Amino acid sequence: MDEPQAWLPTDPRSRPSHDQVVAGLKGVDEGGAELVQLLTPEGERVPDERFDRYAADITAEDLKDLYRDLVLVRRADREGNSLQRQGELGIWVPLLGQEAAQVGSGRALRPTDMCFPSYREHGVAWTRGIDPTELLGIFRGTDHGGWDFAGKRFHPYTIVIGNQCLNAAGYAMGQRFESKVGDSETGEATICYFGDGATSQGDVHEGFVWAAAYDAPLVFFCQNNQWAISVPLSRQTRVPLYQRARGYGFPGVRVDGNDVLACLAVTRWALEECRTGNGPVLIEAFTYRMDSHTTSDDATRYRLADEVELWKLKDPIERVRVHLARRHGVEPEFFEAVEAEADELGERLRTFCRAMPQPGPERMFSEVYADASPQVDAQRDTHLAYHESFTTEGEPA
């Protein structure tokens, strides 16, 4: 086929126009008219008829606790990033910028609720009482996640995009089958985290269908951080993500994902809907990934610096700090104390990480099956004997 084809674009190198770029920036910048916000980027508390009552009990002390969560979660995240740079971790998945979405939603959960994370939910893990040290093994390559999954009701991280949405649907169906739904005091609910990119996966759509078909008490919590590695939201959807819920027959809400108070209130509402039997619900937390996708990624290859600068003005921590200082007269000593606590956490993480033991080869063969597997057992024995053969007498392996 030597002739240029009529259907081929005339200039494959054509770039988006200035207007298109600006339009793209706007699309990312604004959450739209439906965006639920209780605390503006300037730290002002704004009223919201629908969701205020879900934050009515939040005192200045509670807000200080949320602030502390945000700062510590960010510090743990930054420490993870540095540990990767220092060669202590194979990779790190940063949450920078998404602290409020994670802390706000996580703090809305009760201990009896179940949580299915993706792989960036270090902030949600924090709210489930999982120490950041417990996350390090995954990124250091010593385990696939070692926390108390059942006790903390925090499922293992899921790396295959979207898989957990169906698993969460099944779990929530189980809550309904066991009659744990229907009472706002004792009712249970499940929350499932995924990204904007994930919404293109079949599993996520199937999760919507299943949860709806069985009235599962499931909150789908989408952190729309605008990018799936290098691919912008516009390549995944033509409508705002929260509006998709309608097509599956349940409500969808878009919340300012950088507003911890709004995330808390909206998630409380959604969980309440689920507990009382009105689930499922979709929440789209409109936020931004401030760092690269992972430490292996280079966001400067596909993202405009202007866009990042613009989102810096919406920082999830700064607005709470300003609000506490201006509206509640919180003194600098409080912020300094939190900072000191963050330093300690950072130090503790570093020390812990460097001292993590190397797993032994027997780990590979353990817990592959519940029943004994003659094949795996034989492979283990042969491999351990092979290891032994390198050990000369009196010398450690």
Ligand X SMILES: Cc1ncc(C[n+]2csc(CCOP(=O)(O)OP(=O)(O)O)c2C)c(N)n1
Q: Could you say which of 302, 326, 354, 363 is catalytic?
A: 302
**Site map (CB under 8 A) of other proteins, residues 137-176, x = contact:** xxxxxxxx--------------xxxx--------------
11 phi, psi to nearest 5 deg: -120, 95
Catalytic, 289? Answer yes
**Residue 75 tokens, joined:** 């510090």
Binding other proteins (rule: CB under 8 A), the pick from 202, 246, 312, 337 is 202
**Residue 381 tokens, joined:** 């024995």
Enumerate the H helices of 153-190 as residue ranges: 163-177
Report the 10 Å Cβ neighbour count for 397: 10
- Report the partner that residue 392 touches, choosing among other proteins, ligand X, none (CB closer than 5 to 8 A by kind): none
All residues at 6 or more sequence positions from 292 whose CB lies less than 8 Å from its CB, including other chains: 94, 298, 299
Catalytic, 122? Answer no
- State the minimum distance, in angstroms, from the CB of residue 16 to ligand X: 21
H or E, element range at 224: strand 218-224
Q: How many residues bind other proteins (CB under 8 A)?
A: 52
**Residue 365 tokens, joined:** 């063969």
- Report the partner that residue 363 touches, choosing among other proteins, ligand X, none (CB closer than 5 to 8 A by kind): other proteins
Window 10-39: residues binding other proteins (CB under 8 A) = 11-14
Choose the binding region for other proteins from 105-113, 199-207, 238-246, 304-312 (rule: CB under 8 A): 199-207
**Residue 357 tokens, joined:** 């033991």
Q: How far apart are CA 294 and CA 242, in angstroms?
A: 26
- Report the partner that residue 311 touches, choosing among other proteins, ligand X, none (CB closer than 5 to 8 A by kind): none
- Report the partner that residue 18 touches, choosing among ligand X, other proteins, none (CB closer than 5 to 8 A by kind): none
All residues at 6 or more sequence positions from 280 whose CB lies less than 8 Å from its CB, including other chains: 172, 208, 211, 212, 215, 216, 217, 218, 219, 220, 250, 274
- State the minimum distance, in angstroms, from the CB of residue 38 to other proteins: 31
**Site map (CB under 8 A) of other proteins, residues 204-243, x = contact:** ------------------------xxxx---xx-------
Q: How far apart are CA 313 and CA 67, in angstroms?
A: 17
Contact 64, 315 (CB under 8 A): no
Footprint of ligand X (CB under 6 A):
120, 159-161, 195-198, 223, 225, 227-229, 289, 293
Contact 159, 195 (CB under 8 A): no
- State the minimum distance, in angstroms, from the CB of residue 231 to ligand X: 8
Q: Which is nearer to other proteins, 51 or 116 (CB)?
A: 116
Q: Could you say which of 275, 289, 319, 321 is catalytic?
A: 289
Binding other proteins (rule: CB under 8 A), the pick from 40, 133, 200, 276 is 200
Contact 57, 43 (CB under 8 A): no
383 forms part of the interface with other proteins (CB under 8 A):
yes
Q: Which is nearer to other proteins, 27 or 129 (CB)?
A: 27
All residues at 6 or more sequence positions from 235 whose CB lies less than 8 Å from its CB, including other chains: 228
- Report the partner that residue 82 touches, choosing among other proteins, ligand X, none (CB closer than 5 to 8 A by kind): none
297 forms part of the interface with other proteins (CB under 8 A):
yes
Q: Which is nearer to other proteins, 86 or 373 (CB)?
A: 373
221 phi, psi to nearest 5 deg: -115, 100
- State the minimum distance, in angstroms, from the CB of residue 298 to other proteins: 8
SS3 154: strand
- Report the partner that residue 383 touches, choosing among ligand X, other proteins, none (CB closer than 5 to 8 A by kind): other proteins
379 forms part of the interface with other proteins (CB under 8 A):
yes
Q: How far apart are CA 67 and CA 19, in angstroms?
A: 38
**What's the half-sphere exposure (Cβ side, CA atoms, 13 Å) at 111?**
5
Nearest to 54 by CA among 214, 212, 251, 268: 268
Render the burial of 379-394: b for 16+ CB within 10 Å, e for the rest: ebeeeeeeeeeeeeee
As annotated, the active-site residues are 289, 293, 302
Instruction: List residues near other proteins by CB under 8 A.
Output: 1, 4-5, 8-9, 11-14, 90-91, 137-144, 159-162, 197-198, 200-203, 228-231, 235-236, 296-297, 301-302, 358-359, 361, 363-365, 368, 373, 375-376, 379, 383, 386
